[in-house]
Amino acid sequence: MKVPLSWLREYVDLPAATAHEVADRLTMAGLKLEAITSYGHDVKNVVVGEVLEIEELTGFKKPIRHCKVEVGEATPREIVCGATNFVAGDRVPVVLPGGVLPGGFEVGARKTYGRMSEGMICSERELGLGDDHNGIMVLPAGTPIGTDVVELLGLRDDVIELEITPDIGYALSVRGVAREVATAFGVAFRDPADVEVPAETEPSWPASIGDPTACDRFVLREVRGFDPAAQSPLWMRVRLSRSGMRPVSLAVDITNYLMLELGQPLHAFDRSKLTGEIVVRRARAGERLETLDHVVRELDPDDILITDQSGPISMAGTMGGLETEISDGSTDIVIEAAHFSATGISRESRRHGLVSEASKRFERGVDRELPLVASWRAVRMLAELGGATVQPGVTHAEVDVTPARIAIPAGHPSAVAGVPYSKEVVVGRLEQVGCLVADGDDPAVREGGVDPTGVVTGGELAARLAVTGPDMITVTPPSWRPDLTDPNDLAEEVIRLEGYDRLPSVLPSAPAGAGLTEAQRLRRRVGRALAEGGYVEVLSYPFIGADDFDRLQLPADDARRRAMRLANPLSEDEPLMRTTLLPGLLKTLVRNVGRGFGDVALFETGAVYRPRENAPAVAPVLGVSRRPTEEELASIEAALPDQPLRVAVVLAGEFERSGWWGSGRQASWADAVQAARLIAAESRVELSISADQHEPWHPGRCAALYVGDTLVGHAGELHPRVIEAYGLPPRTAAMELELSRLESGMPGPAQAPPVSPYPVATQDVALIVPDFTPVADVEAALRDGAGELLESVRLFDVYAGEQVGEGNKSLAYTMRFRAAGRTLTVEETTAARDAAVAMAADRVGAQLRSA
């Protein structure tokens, strides 16, 4: 909303305050400042002149005139001008040599077209009064020669632009902003709507309200004999332009001017194009309307229409119809002012993608008492400025609406703000807003119920009484504040007018707590461990498409294909909630490789969403008037999917980089398995690894990850078809593990193991096993056979060749033995080693490899 400061001063006795001071006060009152624009402050040396003589110069491609202009000096000025819309004797604005026009444009004396030009005759656009550049601005006859045009036309002004939020629709008018300014400065406010309207009982054009839910007040007034050639006065055109609206014609400009001033949208119909009674109703199936923007619109049954016997003639509160618009020959005009449903206009405007200045105001709420006043002022202005005759009578159709009343404790604003406000302050501030305040309350209000007459109450007021005391007041909000519907709305009015800057800054006391949960600690430890291991964390959107399941080569009956579908997806290509972390990671890997980063190791931690069996298709939608019951909460919970926490990694290219120190090492399935070991170590659980076949991994290079008998994830090299489908580098490896299952297997708080002061005894052993034997099985056998003296076992070499025979492999282990209370003897460690070898021979057929 753009508000010229000069317009505000008409209704507020402002002190010598600048636009910035006014804007600061409005900001403190809760209105948001967008910008302040100054006009005419740089204009100087522009005076009124009278054209004495005009000489038409020839020989040029366009009309050129040499004029003698009297400007109140000793001798007339000679000025060359290209406009032709003025004649000798006209009074025009003239900028003299040394003068400055808006934008810092300086004018001097110079020779042009063979003649001396001592200044310039100005158009409205050159003076910053509008966009009209078709000709010179001709001033009224009798305007004193030599008068300063800046003062005469009020060129100097400041425009304050405010961003109006949906809850303060009253500020979309000079009237509303002026009231706020008057309150902020503590000065008198003169209401432009405080106009005596004649009491008329005769109807004007016949009209009725067909749907009370669409409109509760509809007013028509009529004028005849309007001069369609009448021009809008300059002061009106200037104010419209500076308020962001383009002047069109006198009839339209009057309706726009009053809308800006009062906040009440108006519409003008050509009386000669109306047929029969006007009815405000909802649209019917199949109806259409061509609006003023020459678009034929298919109407929805919820659209609010103004109709006559011919059908729809206007989309109420949004845009008029083309058939009944005011034209260049319109002499008889019907002015319409109404109060439409804010919700209905908002939906209509968005449904048709049609946002107008009128719809912006109606959807935020318009003063219900304005239609009679605004329509009367409109017809009076049409008579005064356009020579029309106001016809007696007014059509006033309305639906009875009981004013809202709100009962609150006088101490409620204090309880909300934490600052003591006396009852006198509360009542005074509410009355400044325009509320009627009375002592006492309705018993139904005190109990937190709703008065049958339509009283708006707060369900928590009874509880507030214990804090604020029983001193109740009943508040009737003014008609221009439909946003005041709740006790907290009234509290906000008191607080903002008293000043947000007066609210103390109090830090809340920190509640006692136990710090992070064990699950939170685990997630952080896992992230740190993977980052230290060379991985980079990424965060992907939790959305996937159905084609991701195909690219992952998932079987038709795979549980991961059952996914939750979003009701309003960000993209139709990815409408499902992810059931695995891999698609997001693989797409991130492809994006990095495509940008030249071929050596990539990524990880992500996040939830996946797995629908439950027999879950309801749609979660129930509950109201907000009360806390849900336990049964209702359980019904919502039952509709939600399981959301286990997972961690996944992907690797491609070199995992250990090459450089001057030598060649690097390509990432492989073993690195993916090692990432799982890192996570298991942070979880303090023992991870068992065995060969498996599980999509999307390579069937011969896939490891299943177990904690005890619980499957927690998979790791290995991706299937070649998956690599091809996503466009991944060859031999890309990946791991996905469910952290939620690791948490359930964690042993609890970490206990520091006892440290033995006795030395360690080391034994190396090399075993020959069939090449299909899992390394994990061999290691498990060695552990079980060695007994409690074994401290650790580590594989340090794998060999396959002629020395071990075809179809075999050699596994070399370092076994460390230590006792807690003594130094081990050679015989003890040898016996433990032999027992371990014997167990491996029994379980997996291992043979001790000879030197």
Query: DSSP letter string over 450-512?
Result: --TT--B--TTHHHHHHHH-S-EEEEE--TT-TT--SHHHHHHHHHHHH-GGGS---PPPPPP
Mean pLDDT of 80-90: 92
pLDDT in tens, 345-393: 999 999 999 999 999 999 999 999 999 999 999 999 999 999 999 999 9
Say whether pLDDT at 456 is over 60. Answer: no
Mean pLDDT of 9-35: 91
State the pLDDT at residue 167.
87
Name the β-bridge partners of 794. 814
Mean pLDDT of 688-695: 91
Mean pLDDT of 165-193: 93
Say whether pLDDT at 469 is over 90. Answer: no
Q: Which residue has the tokens 């710090």?
A: 515
State the pLDDT at residue 470.
56
Cβ 518 vs Cβ 746: under 8 Å? yes
Say whether pLDDT at 91 is over 50. Answer: yes
pLDDT band at residue 649, thresholds of 50, 70 and 90?
very high
State the pLDDT at residue 567.
85
Name the β-bridge partners of 49. 92
Say whether pLDDT at 686 is over 70. Answer: yes
pLDDT in tens, 829-838: 999 999 999 9
Mean pLDDT of 389-398: 94
Say whether pLDDT at 450 is over 80. Answer: no
State the pLDDT at residue 264.
96
pLDDT band at residue 155, thresholds of 50, 70 and 90?
confident
Structure tokens at 570: 């960000």
pLDDT band at residue 464, thresholds of 50, 70 and 90?
very low
Comparing 217-221, 323-327, 334-338, the range with the smallest average pLDDT is: 323-327
Q: Give the contacts of 194 (CB within 8 A, at least 6 positions apart).
A: none
Residue 301 DSSP label? T
What b/e string do you get for 517-539 counting C-beta neighbours within 10 Å, with b at 16 or more? eeeeebbebbbebbeebebeebe
Q: For residue 542, is the peptide bond before it cis, meaning its omega torsion is within 30 degrees of 0? A: no
Say whether pLDDT at 745 is over 90. Answer: no
Sign of CA dihedral 541, 545, 550, 551: negative
Mean pLDDT of 224-241: 91
pLDDT band at residue 295, thresholds of 50, 70 and 90?
very high
Mean pLDDT of 751-777: 89
pLDDT band at residue 775, thresholds of 50, 70 and 90?
confident
Q: pTM for this one?
A: 0.66
pLDDT in tens, 339-352: 999 999 999 999 99
- For strands 215-224 and 389-390, give the pairing: antiparallel
What percent of the chain clears pLDDT 70, i.e. is strictly above it?
96
State the pLDDT at residue 133.
66
pLDDT band at residue 154, thresholds of 50, 70 and 90?
confident
Helix (H, G, I), strand (E, B) or coil at 14: coil
Mean pLDDT of 744-752: 76
Structure tokens at 410: 């006088």
| Average pLDDT of every residue of the chain | 90
Say whether pLDDT at 496 is over 70. Answer: yes
Q: Give the contacts of 714 (CB within 8 A, at least 6 positions apart).
A: 692, 694, 697, 702, 703, 704, 705, 735, 736
Mean pLDDT of 697-710: 92
Length of the chain as a residue count: 851
Say whether pLDDT at 489 is over 50. Answer: yes
Say whether pLDDT at 423 is over 90. Answer: yes
State the pLDDT at residue 673.
95
Instruction: Please give the single-letter amino acid code of residue 838.
Output: A
